[in-house]
Amino acid sequence: MERASTMIRVTDLLRRRAEHYPDRTALNIDGTDALSYGEWQRRVDRTAHGLLAAGVTKGHRIGLLYGGMDWTDYAVAYLAVLGAGATAVHLSDRLGEPEIERRLAECQAAGVIHSGSLRPPASFAGWTAEAAGLDSGDETPVDVPLAPEDIADVLYTSGTTGPAKAFTNPHGNLTYGRGPEGLLQFENPTPLLAPMPLGTTSSATTVAIIAVTSPSALVLAAVDDVERMAQLVSRHRIGSVMITPWIAMRMLAARLGERHDLGCVERVAIASAPLAPALSRALLKLFPAAELNTAYSQSEAVPAVVVNTFDPARPGTLGRAAPGTGLRIADALGTELPPGEVGEIQLRSAAPGRRYLDARRDAEVRIDGWIRTGDLGHLDEDGWLHLFDRGSDVLDSAGVPVSSVAVEAALYEHPAVREAAVVAAGSGPAAVVVLEDPAAAGDLPAFLAERLEPHQLPVLVETRESLPRGITGKVLKRILRRELADR
């Protein structure tokens, strides 16, 4: 079929892999089931034809409702939706029916593709189908004309500060700087472990970016089972591990190194939130042969990103701007601030931009071509970015701004602290902690007094058995603020 567009798309990247490495494993699901590039491509084409025959057209929004370890059907359905020119709306079974209803209505979804064990809410009026039911049997290439600005996804923020917010992700953003040159060389043949929840921005990135550009086969694991993750690392001699801070904390708490050989791991990659220096050091002890790579961005700013390799001599930095990323610190009017001065972190790139569905919200985060992250920080003289705090998390102590990040970092230095979150309570900063040994609670005030300035000290330290977290593991500080408002 004659090509209808010269734009590089995710489906083009998959097809190129399938042509050259048809039998190479693309996705290894929990070490027991595998999807090759060739089979993935064939199923995507057959399903895309099925979508077109069912009346799906360019611009239709199609929900993808998946959970558990149903990665194969999710990967097929997702790229088939993109191949048909439609827009994927990623939905996790962990969201709960009311939130799924809200997102389907907000996105005006025409249909939902779902796993065999799940069904959309009864209130949904569009069509529904499983991926297998859309398999047309036609494996000829599908090539719907698309422009870089056409929308591939509707994704959602993590919802840590309020209801999760919808934003659009253009095709040109997905593939910006990602091909096709260099994609055929498998430079690191060792597998990459990626325990990510299905139906989220993380799973979309895993399938549409990492799986079609990574030099390694992906081994996908359940996000709730760190013991299984360690077994897979040892069994498959995993070379790279891509995890969230919450998974990292659970790995450390489980003392996996006492039961599993993790020395094969050469790289640990963490995104979604900064990791306290004490946790970074502990993670490098757990993976003794690895380096720790981190990435900082905001959902609406991707692919602009700040990258770093953890250095104990420079523990508090987020790193430097990656190639193609603009980074500055600015005041509320967009005036760039000099090194050392705290202001808002702002990012930009030349990729087609992600946009909030809420036009007013979208306008608020943009200023002169820059994306306002809402986070506060400063650049040092050498261009290293240092985070002060997320704007909504900054604390007030007698009129002096206090970084919850700094207070949490001090808490994690205590060996008994497993989890920590610092929020504003009615009387001032409050720390909520989960402890390895509950008896250590009495030690924390004196411990913090040795490491923090007086105005940084929490007026309340409360112990709990767990912290409220979203489906990606981020602490829901809005819940803690509400619970501690009168304390």
Which is nearest to 170 in space by CA: 371, 333, 39, 353? 353
Measured between alpha carbons, how far is residue 95 from residues 59, 73, 199, 200, 276 in Å? Answer: 25, 19, 9, 10, 28
The three-class DSSP label of residue 5 is: coil
pTM: 0.93
pLDDT in tens, 349-370: 999 999 999 999 999 999 999 9
Tell me phi and psi for residue 174, to 5 degrees. -60, -40
Distance CA 457, CA 478 (A): 21
Q: Is pLDDT above 50 for 1?
A: no
Residue 453 has pLDDT above 90, yes or no: yes
Length of the chain counted residue by residue: 487
Label residue 311 by pLDDT band (50, 70, 90).
very high
CA dihedral in degrees (199, 200, 203, 209; nearest 10)? Answer: 120
478 C-beta neighbours (distance < 10 Å), count: 16
CATH topology of domain 10-174: Rossmann fold (3.40.50)
Instruction: Give the start-to-end residue ranges of the domains of the chain.
Output: 10-174, 394-484
Q: What is the pLDDT of residue 265?
A: 96
Counting runs of H as helices and runs of E as strands, what totals does the chain give? 14, 26
Min mean pLDDT across 13-17, 38-42, 123-127, 213-217 is at: 213-217
pLDDT band at 6 (very low <50, low <70, confident <90, very high): low
DSSP 248-261: HHHHHHTTGGGTS-
pLDDT exceeds 80 at position 113: yes
Q: Is 464 left (phi over 0), alpha (psi -120 to 50) or beta?
A: beta
All residues at 6 or more sequence positions from 261 whose CB lies less than 8 Å from its CB, including other chains = 234
Dist. CA 183–CA 204, nearest whole Å: 19
Cα separation, 299 vs 158, whole angstroms: 9
pLDDT at 179: 60
Q: CA 385 from chain center: how many Å?
A: 20
Confidence of residue 316 (pLDDT cuts 50, 70, 90): confident
The answer for 179, left when phi > 0, alpha when psi is -120 to 50, beta otherwise, is: left
Q: Which residues contact 46 (CB under 8 A, 6 or more apart)?
A: 135, 136, 137, 138, 139
Tens-digit pLDDT profile for residues 172-188? 999 998 764 433 344 55
Quote the tokens at residue 151. Answer: 């929308």
**CB neighbours of 191 closer than 8 A, spacing ≥ 6?**
28, 216, 217, 218, 219, 236, 237, 238, 239, 240
Residue-level pLDDT at 218: 92
Class of domain 394-484: alpha beta
Only one residue has tokens 């097809």, namely 15
Q: For helices 37-53 and 71-83, what crossing angle results, to 10°?
A: 50
Which residues are CB-neighbours of 71 under 8 A, at least 6 positions away? Answer: 27, 29, 35, 198, 203, 207, 220
pLDDT, tens digit, for every residue of 395-448? Answer: 988 889 999 999 999 999 999 999 999 999 877 889 999 999 999 999 999 999
Q: Residue by residue, what is the 3-state secondary structure of 399-418? A: CEEECHHHHHHHHHCCCCEE
